[in-house]
A and B are shown apart, each in its own frame.
Chain A
Amino acid sequence: MSNASDENDWTKPAAMAIPKGGFFPDRVEEGRYGPMFPKTPACYGFSVVAKVKPGREQVVRDYGKSIEEAVKADPSVLAPLQLHYLRWVLFDVGSGMHFMYQGIFDTDFDKYLEDALEIFLKTGINTVFTNLEGFPEDWKTNLPAVIKFFREHQCPSFLEYGEYPYVSADEVKKALRVKAALSEMLDQMQ
């Protein structure tokens, strides 16, 4: 049950420092799979970090192309997630190759976990995780285990910032549509 009263003034950039663990102890909201991460000026989001199985780096990298193709073929394929951005990063800082999957959403991701995983399944994103250590072997039939993996590998932020805080992707698109319509109208009046 999200707190929507935090729809602050979008003209005022805002930063939010988040306690260790990712939750505010005095206003933690209980979700179906445990406590839910709060909405911040940068909306909802997650940063899942996991170690890549030895020799699988290129396989993971190749998924970048396959997601690009999936979105090209159907631009609305990820729409239900209400995403702003996805960022996939491969890095090795001395402890082996790791994969970081960072997403910024308008949806309260914790609430729609199964729906998100369903979309991952459709686009093949799910199978990228089979190249990560600790991902359940029985992921096809054991949704709770997949969700547990996600939650255990989520590295919560301790700072989030929004230049135009709490604004949804829909609102951004609406504003751009109005701007485009206005430009066209002005052109017509020349």
Chain B
Amino acid sequence: MLEFEDIQHILLTRAPALTGRYEFLSFKDPAGARTWLAEILPKVQSAKAMRESVNKEKRWITIAFTWNGLRALGVDEAALATFPQEFRDGMVARARMLGDTGANAPVHWVDKTASPDLHAIAILFARDASERERCAVDHAKLIAECKGVEVLSSLDLEATPPFDYAHDHFGYRDRLSQPIIEGSGDEPTPGSGAALKAGEFILGYPDESGVVPLLPKPDVLSRNGSFMAYRRLEEHVGKFRDFLRTEGKTPQEQELIAAKLMGRWRSGAPLVLSPDKDDPALGADPQRNNNFNYKEQDPQGYAVPLGSHMRRMNPRDTAASMNRHRMIRRGATYGGHLPEGMPDDGTERGIAAFVICASLIRQYEFAQNVWVNDRNFHKLGNERDPIIGAQDGTLEYKIPKRPIRRKIVGLPAFTTVRGGAYFFLPGLKALRWLAAAGKRAESQLGTTL
């Protein structure tokens, strides 16, 4: 039985938000940090509270910490040492393996998330911009009252028009293939596979191997928690549109190229089910838009190229142990919309997203290192993910086609990593435990004396 009242809402629910804001925090004083946490804690909704209040609520808050942040809050070294190595290392130390090199390297990140002083993130999802502004002002007041709490950077989120469905700046419909957690009350859509064991995403429950994996200590800190990989990914919209125009003579051909990179038409319609022309009704229909496989329906990649983004991020029935590599994705777009036909204005715009999983190394890092950046994924030889892979202009992209495949050489980078970090997302009880760490230390000191 999932403890909905203890699990932070972001793990199990999606806020109906059009805007939001991430604030990246640093703690210079443990007591000040705990004061901040104690004050903001009542505003952090559990999955249960979120579900009960979603229609009247206008904002949703999530709190998570880096490993350094847990130390800054006063978690002792013995407990800190029980966290997984990759979380202790942090995303910056894992950059080479993740493919964050060249223009993607942490040295170029713009939001100070590469700093060891990054300790926490406060995630705000808001129904509209005025609610976001109200919350931002409130939070600034709170921070001013908490000794040693500093904002390293912040990022405002904006949905991109049209607002009737979620999509990125390139125009691809988003949120189409999310894993469902057993016992969450949600049902997988056709083709999405069975619901997955909670332990794949939430600490303290059996995972797909049938056991509860070893947890960080103490249990009160780890239970109902999870890990989050944050990625701020700039999307080079002008470059992407130029590429489509170069590679496709007609608007129809350009749409097909865009679809071949993703594996879906920008409407969301999967190429497996609609290989030759777009079908927006299919793309918008959750009962149909995920209902396909690869092994029988597209083994050679004639519809969905073997190296396409969708096929790499979820190889479905063509990967071993698929259920051990699933991830929950949350997040939003940021930066202003670039209208079609307008030249790139140089503004940074992109996706700022979280990958949530129980094991960063087995789930997120595997996906990033192998599925996204292995040049020889599916024996492709010289490719990486065409949308989010580490592209340096030397790689290719193959589009299977009868009688002869099409090969695009020198694929440009359509995205650049602008920030990133690993966070631990505690349950509500754990947040209370962290907020009370100072009192515990004082009372222990009192006992000793």
A residues touching B (Cβ–Cβ < 8 Å)?
1-5, 7, 30-33, 80, 108, 111-112, 114-115, 118-119, 121, 138, 140-144, 168, 170
Contacts and interface: CB of A to CB of B under 8 A. Distances in A.
B209 A5 contact: no
A143 B97 CA distance: 20
B209 A121 contact: yes
A160 B374 CA distance: 23
A167 B225 CA distance: 45
- Which are the 7 A-B pairs with shortest beta-carbon distances? A80-B320, A4-B381, A30-B97, A115-B320, A30-B96, A115-B321, A118-B321
B324 A115 contact: yes
B211 A143 contact: no
A111 B369 contact: yes
Contacts of B213: 141-143
Nearest to B323: A118
Contacts of B86: 32
Interface stretch (B36-44, B155-163, B360-368): B360-368
B259 to A, nearest CB: 26
Contacts of B362: 114, 143
Interface in B346-388: 359, 361-362, 365-366, 369-370, 373-376, 379, 381-382, 384
Interface residues of B, number: 30
Interface string B378-412: 01011010000010000000000000000000000
A32 B374 contact: no
Contact of A1 (B321, B366, B374): B374
Interface of B is mostly: loop
A33 B94 CA distance: 10
Nearest to A142: B214
Contacts of A108: 374, 376
B204 to A, nearest CB: 12
28 contacts: A1-B373, A1-B390, A2-B374, A3-B375, A4-B376, A7-B381, A30-B96, A31-B369, A32-B86, A32-B97, A80-B320, A80-B321, A108-B374, A111-B369, A114-B324, A114-B362, A114-B366, A118-B209, A118-B324, A119-B320, A119-B321, A121-B209, A138-B214, A140-B211, A141-B214, A142-B213, A143-B359, A144-B84
Contacts of A31: 97, 369
Contacts of A119: 320-321
B130 interface: no
Contact of A144 (B85, B96, B97, B374): B85
A159 to B, nearest CB: 24
B212 interface: yes
- Candidate in A108, A119, A141, A170 with the most chain B CB atoms within 10 angstroms: A141
Contacts of B99: 1
Interface string B175-217: 0000000000000000000000000000000000101111000
Contacts of A1: 99, 369, 373-375, 384, 390
B373 A32 contact: no
A121 B207 CA distance: 15
Contacts of A170: 379
A108 to B, nearest CB: 8
A32 B320 contact: no
Contacts of A112: 320, 370
Nearest to A122: B321
A7 B382 CA distance: 11
A19 B375 CA distance: 25
A51 B415 CA distance: 49
A67 to B, nearest CB: 18
Nearest to A39: B376
B375 A2 contact: yes
A141 B212 contact: yes
Nearest to B86: A32
Contacts of B214: 138, 141-142
Nearest to A5: B382
B320 A118 contact: yes
A138 B84 CA distance: 15
Contacts of A142: 213-214
Interface string B206-232: 000101111000000000000000000
Nearest to B97: A30
B51 to A, nearest CB: 31
A30 B375 CA distance: 14
Contacts of A118: 209, 320-321, 324
A67 B213 CA distance: 27
Contacts of B375: 1-4
A74 B443 CA distance: 61
A92 to B, nearest CB: 34
